[in-house]
Chain A
Amino acid sequence: MELAIVKYNAGNIQSVLYALERIGTTATVTDDHAVLQRADKVIFPGVGEASSAMRYLREKGLDALLINLEQPVLGICLGMQLMCAWSEENDTRCLGIFNEPVKLFRPADRTIKVPQIGWNTISSLRSPLFANVPENSYCYFVHSYYAAMGEQTIGITDYVQPYSSALQTKNFYGVQFHPEKSAKVGEQILKNFIAL
């Protein structure tokens, strides 16, 4: 099986590669269109800022490539947000694979910090991506923007308000948390994606 990780101008890509190695899988980090297209599965990770990431993807023609992929695709953190229709982060039009908009956390209570950094639960899990993952498992999050709830929501987390911590439509999956840093639970989710 060939697994490809999308290489672009975002951080944290190596961590995903290392996490895959820990569970006994190898992957290619690449922006080569042919390699991405023929891969059995594609992971689209990333930590960073939405508008500069989208600009880079467009320059490299990766935007059109990603939306047309037919194999399972997993967006992680910024990757998932970029798969949504729009992000409030610098008013950025994104890939539009998911319908849900991405908005900034605006807590009324000043003791709630933005970004959310740390471990929070995922619930209302409904996807093969979460096979053998118990309800209310803890995952590691680092983010200031969140995807709203919608019909593509396959996992919910509560911070400021309930939001989509996982999305799915057809072959496209997205998680807001970092499975590559979410201990055993994260490893199970990566294994599930590989097994799709």
Chain B
Amino acid sequence: MLTKRIIPCLDIKDGRTVKGTNFVDLRDAGDPVELGRLYAEQGADELVFLDITATVERRKTLSELVNRISHQINIPFTVGGGISSVEDVRLLLQNGADKISVNTAAFKRPDLLKELEKDFGSQCVVLAIDTRQEADGEWYVYLNGGRTPTGKKCMEWAEEAVALGAGEILLTSMNHDGTKKGFAIDITRRLADKLSIPVIASGGGGTMQHFVDVFEQGHADAALAASIFHFKEIGIPDLKEYLHQKGIRVRL
């Protein structure tokens, strides 16, 4: 049986992790490679590196970082953040990334998904969707890190994206992100049940029970979190043991 995946997310700026961490045992906690390797050793199933660098040097610093990661980490990893062209993706894959995630650029030009699928295969194309539930109860797509509303329904965009060639959906609820009050069970479940591809739930994970809930009730294939891992509020080995105790299949 396939297991549910636990995915720590590392925010990167200029080749360094952005948010602080509580890992006193690391030589350099700001080094994404060191932190990623620690998570891999602890049993993380995959890693996501989200680059928020805004300088002209970004392509070069990111591809150099990806190259270092792929030389040192023995589990799959996804790279995202500002990726907008087939050439961006080619460079990252050539440097050893297993998957890339696209968000705003794919929404603005959906053919990007088709091009990526054709050149590299859907297995390496993760579509990230930032979504917010509005007063009418519906979930809508937001762009630019959740700042720009689009008026498009999340489910509609996700279904289009699957048809265009997305291989996985990384779904972040803006309502839940940063709250530590639990994942967005409702929209996660709707997507997971409707789509033929895996759904990674993101945003809101604060307790180990929240992870149980997003797998059992939300039907997520994987769950992603950042600061709760970085600040050691939840240890990955403890989380996996807890999930196992609750009858959820995880890689121990």
Are A and B co-members of a single complex? yes
Instruction: Report the tally of A-B residue pairs with Cβ distances under 8 A.
Output: 88
Question: Contacting B94 at CB < 8 Å: which of A14, A114, A186?
Answer: A14
| A residues less than 8 Å from B14 (CB atoms) | none
Which residues 161-196 in A have Cβ within 8 Å of B in the complex? 178, 180-184, 186-187
Instruction: Determine the chain B residues whose CB is within 8 A of the CB of A15 once the complex forms.
Output: 70, 96, 98
Which stretch, A18-26, A32-40, A64-72, A79-87, touches the partner chain B? A18-26
- Main DSSP-derived SS at the B contact region: loop
A47 lies within 8 A of B124 (CB): yes
Q: How large is the interface on B (under 10, 10 to 19, 20 to 34, 35 or more residues)?
A: 35 or more
* Contact present for B98 and A21 (CB under 8 Å): no
Q: How many of chain A's residues touch chain B, expressed as a range?
A: 35 or more
Do A142 and B96 have beta carbons less than 8 Å apart?
Answer: no
The distance from the CB of A34 to the nearest CB of chain B, in whole angstroms, is 26
CA distance A47 to B98 in the complex (A): 10
- Is A104 an interface position by the 8 A CB rule? no
CB of B125, distance to nearest CB on chain A (Å): 11
Main secondary structure of the interface of A (DSSP, over half): mixed
Residues of B within 8 A of A (CB): 1-5, 40, 45, 70-72, 74-76, 93-96, 98, 120-124, 167-168, 192-193, 195-198, 219, 221-222, 251
Q: A111-B219, A113-B195, A117-B123 are in contact. List 19 more A-B contacts (CB 8 A).
A: A11-B121, A11-B124, A15-B96, A48-B121, A113-B221, A118-B3, A118-B4, A118-B198, A118-B221, A118-B222, A120-B2, A138-B251, A140-B76, A141-B2, A142-B123, A180-B74, A181-B98, A182-B74, A184-B74
